């Protein structure tokens, strides 16, 4: 069955997993708001979607800023239509061992991952409730299970899981599902930055990671995008409050 036209918001969609997800949802037939810090940085994703025959809108917004989130959702509703699909994907790393982690390292990661997911979910839920249908997918991580140097990020990504389960309980009666996708090692600028911070060549970094992955390869942004595509589909309406690890195996 062809999916009816829906409007999706994907945050952090200028590159990486967000970009792949925006492109996949557009290919699925959804109109996609490509949200990132810098509207200009969204141009590439939007052009790729347009060139493939899809519908996309570039929107600049800091997901951690309440005013910018409200304005972004209002703009999407006005220009594309009421958003009933939300992918909370925007993310940052501020890795450090606990004794070296600064207040700002902690606050920044909490603000982007947790406050960002909260603000966007709260802003779009009205449109979903009005429609009697909605899909929220938030990016967690295998780091939620604990990861050296990531006390802030692990706490935020575990928090996303609790947040997701609560949205599923509160919003289910309105036809809205909430799920979380928890990637393992995915080749993006984020993992490249981690290798650089550790002073490790990225090819060596990827090879070491791959050795720990049961399917024997690193993940690609499209692996995550395909999982999100399922979770926001019409047919996934009885899947809610779940965390799906997209890690090439049962754990990191
Ligand atoms: P990425 O390549 O670093 O892309 C993240 C995007 O989010 C960037 O375009 C970034 O914009 C944007 N962003 C950052 N802060 C923002 C803010 N305050 N408001 C709006 N946009 C903001 O990361 P990725 O690897 O694709 O990761 C995407 C998501 O998956 C993140 O939530 C990440 O934690 C999660 N994840 C990734 C992996 C992995 O292996 N890559 C594994 C598990 C989970 P700028 O370029 O302007 O900073």
Tens digits of residue pLDDT in 214-223: 999 999 999 9
pLDDT tens, 185-234?
Answer: 999 999 999 999 889 999 999 999 999 999 999 999 999 999 999 999 99
Conformational region of residue 149, where left means phi above 0, alpha means psi within -120 to 50, and beta covers everything else:
left
Is residue 6 classed as helix, strand or coil in its secondary structure?
Answer: coil
H or E element in which residue 179 lies: strand 176-183
Q: What is the pTM of this model?
A: 0.98
* DSSP codes joined into one string, 73-138: HHHHHHHT----EEEE-------B-GGG--HHHHHHHIIIIIIHHHHHHHHHHHHHHHHT-EEEEE
Q: Is 13 helix (H, G, I), strand (E, B) or coil?
A: coil
Edge-to-edge order in the sheet of strand 134-139:
56-60, 31-36, 7-11, 85-88, 134-139, 176-183, 243-246
CA distances from 11 to 75, 133, 225, 249 (A): 14, 20, 13, 26
Using the atom order of ligand 1, give the atom closest to the CA of residue 19.
26
Q: Closest residue (by CA) to atom 8 of ligand 1?
A: 12
Ligand 1 pocket test target in 9, 10, 11, 12 with most atoms within 8 Å of CB: 12
Q: How far is the CA of 77 from the centre of ligand 1 (A)?
A: 24
The per-residue pLDDT for 2 is 47
Q: Tokens in use for 99? A: 């004794």
Task: Confirm or reject: Cβ of 62 under 6 Å from ligand 1.
Answer: yes
Residues of the chain with CATH 3.40.50.720: 7-184+221-245
What six digits make up the tokens of 132? Answer: 């009697």
Q: Provide φ and ψ at 15, rounded to 5°.
A: -160, 180
**C-alpha of 55 from chain center:** 19
Centroid of ligand 1 to alpha carbon of 190 (angstroms): 7
CA-to-CA distance for 161 and 163, rounded, in angstroms?
5
Cβ–ligand 1 distance for 74 under 6 Å, the answer no
Closest protein CA for atom 6 of ligand 1: 12
Tell whether the model's pLDDT for residue 252 goes beyond 60.
Answer: no
Instruction: Give the catalytic positions in this structure.
Output: 153
Superfamily classification of domain 7-184+221-245: NAD(P)-binding Rossmann-like Domain (3.40.50.720)
Q: Is the CB of 92 under 6 A from ligand 1?
A: yes
- Which one, of 8, 11, 22, lies nearest residue 221 by Cα? 22
Q: What is the pLDDT of residue 81?
A: 98
């Amino acid at each position: 069955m062809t999916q009816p036209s829906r409007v999706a918001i994907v945050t952090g969609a200028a590159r990486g997993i967000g970009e792949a997800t925006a492109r996949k949802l557009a290919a699925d037939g959804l109109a996609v708001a490509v949200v990132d810090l810098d509207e200009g940085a969204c141009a590439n994703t939007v052009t790729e979607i347009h060139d493939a025959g899809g519908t996309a809108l570039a929107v600049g917004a800091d997901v951690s800023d309440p005013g910018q989130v409200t304005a972004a959702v209002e703009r999407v509703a006005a220009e594309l239509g009421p958003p009933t699909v939300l992918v909370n994907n925007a993310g940052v790393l501020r890795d450090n061992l606990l004794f070296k982690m600064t207040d700002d390292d902690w606050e920044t990661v909490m603000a982007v991952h947790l406050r960002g997911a909260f603000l966007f979910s709260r802003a779009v839920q009205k449109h979903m409730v009005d429609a009697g249908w909605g899909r929220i997918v938030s990016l967690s991580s295998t780091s939620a299970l604990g990861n050296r140097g990531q006390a802030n990020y692990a706490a935020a990504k575990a928090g996303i899981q609790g947040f997701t389960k609560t949205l599923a309980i509160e919003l289910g009666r309105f036809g809205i599902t909430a799920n979380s996708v928890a990637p393992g090692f995915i080749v993006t600028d984020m993992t490249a930055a981690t290798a650089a911070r550790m002073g490790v060549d990225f090819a060596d970094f990827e090879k070491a990671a791959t050795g720990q992955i049961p399917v024997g390869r690193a993940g690609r942004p499209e692996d995550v995008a395909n999982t999100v595509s399922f979770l926001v589909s019409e047919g996934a309406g009885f899947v809610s409050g779940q965390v799906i690890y997209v890690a090439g195996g049962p754990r990191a």
